[in-house]
Chains A and B, each alone.
Chain A
Amino acid sequence: MTSIRTFMTDDHRRCDDLFAETELAIAQKNPDAARAAFGHFRSAILAHFDSEEKTLFPTFEAKMGSSLGPTQVMRMEHAQMRSLLDEAVGALESGNADDYFGLAETLLIMMQQHNMKEENILYPMCDEHLSGELPAILERLETELAES
């Protein structure tokens, strides 16, 4: 059966692909395609954050009996990335490629090191501690991510 780690890691890769598509469109000097691709990327990653914050983290916290652990740090990093996303939308709207690249670069590294922590540490912990609830959680995550 799929684990939380595999499932959520796959979703990270899907977001990466959408990010790369935006860069490609900008490199090909196609601002409309870039805005569209960035829109897809943004909704995919926001849906990912939401499903973690609404479903995965609370279930994990309830099991561990604390909301002050690693999930708190992950929430804080989500907030940092949300504000970078908003700034990047602004830069794309105003057609400022240089600002956009700066924001995108920062966002990418922030996102990758965040994903690395989740994939190597948090998700394996979730798989370990939530084995009983696994099918139900996966189903909910799948529905939430499919809606995005």
Chain B
Amino acid sequence: MQALLAFENAPPFAAPLRFFLTAPLFAVLAGLLVAVVGPDIFASRWTPDGLAATHLITLGFMLQIMLGALIQILPVVAGANLARPLGVAVVVNIGLSGGVLLLAGGFHFGWPAVLTAAALLLGLTILLYLAVTLRALSGVPSTSPTIRGLKLALGGLAVVVSLGMLLALGLANGWRLPLVALTDLHAAWGLGGWAGVLLAAMAYVVVPMFQLTAGYPARPSWLFPPLMCSALLLWSLAVLVDWPWLVRFSQLGVASAGLVFAVLTLRLQLKRRRARADATSRYWQLGLAASILALLMLSTAAIFPALAELPGWPLVFGILLVLGGFLSFIIGMLYKIVPFLAWLHLQSATQSKMPAPTMNKILGEPAMQRQMKAYVLALLLLVAAAFRPDWLARPAGLAFAIAAGWLWWNLFSAIRRYRWHSADIAEKLAAKLAAV
């Protein structure tokens, strides 16, 4: 109980930071891959380089940040303290980064042995992470929709990783698998059951907190995670018994659950009490608009499957949901979390003997706003490139690499300023002590 409230029990800053600082580099890599490979990468959703780029983003960027942020957040929202958070962070960060590089390399060069190695390394890493977090969460009752959502999301992570390993090992060893159906299911669990449910669980806490909105209404927030997971279980069953109509029905369920959550969040934010639109709230609006578009595409395609065969359709859907939706939410949250954690650690370092520099001295609003403009431009170029890859694939990839690199630079500068202020505070404290 007391452990939950005390700052002393918070994980060290270095634990989440190492994830936050490595993740944007993988997004840069994904952008560069698109720029180098060019138009061919947009040929279909099945090109090896397309798969490599997708996993550089979903595993290299999204999963890194989600796992790192959870290490920080589990003690605060669920009272679940991880044993040795720093050690876990180091091992998971290295395992994940190595695994993603192997996976992307395996796809790009078409080397089965490397794909196998990637599947095993990623599987082991996530297994370790799940073991540590589930141990911390064991005995924590689900007293809030956030805690319930976190537990279900971790279950979703277990499923998406198992399916991913099956697919990678199947590809590497030439197993006879229904690749298309399993890949769709793998993506659905990854984006819906893991990322989507986790996003909702976090949104229940951070949307009211950062933007001073009213709280999420209780009933939909309790219902969203189990509904999403039930729709996905139904989808899995449908793939197992090979009933395409049930796949489409579950797809519609997933899309509707997502839409309800997104529209609810948008409504809360439109009625927020804060006058100022900062980078975080603008990133949320961008993310919500893009996700709503993507989820509308998903539900129309569930009703009219022929639409998904249109050229560009799957790519635009993926770009809107992953890069427009999830990445925008994540970047928006990073822009609050990193400066706040820096302030919190500086504040504790001052031992209340002097004021700590505030959040905007660690990371200023103009830097975030400029990066966001670059990100929006990259996003528009990528969507356009799905229709005119011959003209736009390379510029879009390059623009995305620049926007992601800019994010890295912003975060890195914030940490540099944090380090500088830490040293400054230590020096001033020492001087004060010497003067006594």
Contacts and interface: CB of A to CB of B under 8 A. Distances in A.
A102 B358 contact: yes
Contact of B209 (A79, A99, A112): A112
Contacts of A109: 209-210, 336, 340, 359
Contact of A116 (B209, B275, B276): B209
B144 interface: yes
Interface stretch (B3-11, B33-41, B161-169): B3-11
B217 to A, nearest CB: 15
A117 interface: yes
B274 A120 contact: no
Nearest to B147: A120
Interface in B1-46: 1-2, 4-7
B361 interface: yes
A103 interface: yes
B212 A106 contact: no
Contacts of B276: 23, 27, 101
Interface string B332-346: 000010001001100
A120 B355 contact: no
Interface string B110-128: 0000000000000000000
Interface stretch (A49-57, A69-77, A138-146): A69-77
A36 B5 CA distance: 33
Nearest to A70: B5
- Grouping DSSP codes into helix (H, G, I), strand (E, B) and loop, the B interface class, with mixed when no group exceeds half, is helix
Given A80-B347, A105-B358, A121 B4 contact: yes
B205 interface: yes
A106 to B, nearest CB: 4
Contact of A70 (B1, B208, B275, B336): B1
- Grouping DSSP codes into helix (H, G, I), strand (E, B) and loop, the A interface class, with mixed when no group exceeds half, is helix
Interface string B78-90: 0100000000000
Interface residues of A, number: 37
Contacts, number: 79
Nearest to B360: A102
Contact of A101 (B210, B343, B355, B360): B360
B273 interface: yes
Contacts of A125: 1
Given A69-B2, A109-B209, A121-B1, A16 B273 contact: yes
A24 B358 CA distance: 21
B273 A20 contact: yes
A72 to B, nearest CB: 8
Contacts of B76: 113, 116-117
B352 interface: yes
A106 B358 contact: yes
Interface in A64-106: 68-70, 73-74, 79-80, 83-84, 87, 98-99, 101-103, 105-106
A109 B340 CA distance: 8
Contacts of B360: 98, 101-102, 105
Contacts of B347: 80
A67 to B, nearest CB: 12
A70 B210 contact: no
Contacts of B274: 20, 23
Interface string B316-349: 0000000000000000000010001001100100
Given A23-B274, A105-B358, A70 B2 contact: yes
Nearest to A20: B273
B4 A27 contact: no
Interface in A20-63: 20, 23-24, 26-28
A102 B361 contact: yes
Contact of A102 (B7, B205, B212, B359): B359
Interface in B199-237: 205, 208-210, 212
Interface of A: 16-17, 19-20, 23-24, 26-28, 68-70, 73-74, 79-80, 83-84, 87, 98-99, 101-103, 105-106, 108-110, 112-113, 116-117, 120-122, 125
21 contacts: A19-B212, A20-B274, A20-B275, A24-B275, A27-B275, A73-B2, A98-B360, A99-B358, A102-B358, A102-B359, A102-B360, A106-B359, A109-B210, A112-B209, A116-B76, A116-B205, A117-B4, A120-B144, A121-B1, A121-B4, A121-B5
Given A102-B359, A117-B4, 12 more contacts: A28-B275, A69-B1, A73-B2, A74-B5, A98-B360, A99-B358, A103-B358, A105-B359, A109-B210, A110-B344, A112-B208, A116-B76
User: Which 4 residue pairs are nearest across A and B when measured between Cβ atoms?
Assistant: A102-B360, A20-B273, A102-B358, A112-B209
